[in-house]
């Protein structure tokens, strides 16, 4: 993960996932988790972008 990706994963988790994986199921899951709560979206963004 690059520094920019880490910063985006903290500030805007869906954007970080979108830039890495595009518009798909991973993005939609991250968007939903971010709407539920900011922290679940951040955790999921780190998890998805680390693989």
- Quick one: pLDDT at residue 51? 79
Give pLDDT tens digits for 1-51.
789 999 999 999 999 999 999 999 999 999 999 999 999 999 999 999 997
Q: How far apart are CA 41 and CA 25, in angstroms?
A: 14
Cα dihedral 42, 51, 3, 33, rounded to 10, equals: -10
- Quick one: pLDDT at residue 39? 96
The answer to whether 43 touches 35, Cβ cutoff 8 Å, is no
């Amino acid at each position: 993960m690059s520094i920019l990706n880490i910063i985006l994963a903290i500030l805007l988790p869906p954007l970080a996932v979108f830039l890495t994986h595009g518009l798909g199921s991973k993005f939609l899951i991250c968007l939903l988790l971010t709407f539920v709560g900011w922290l679940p979206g951040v955790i999921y963004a780190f998890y998805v972008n680390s693989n």
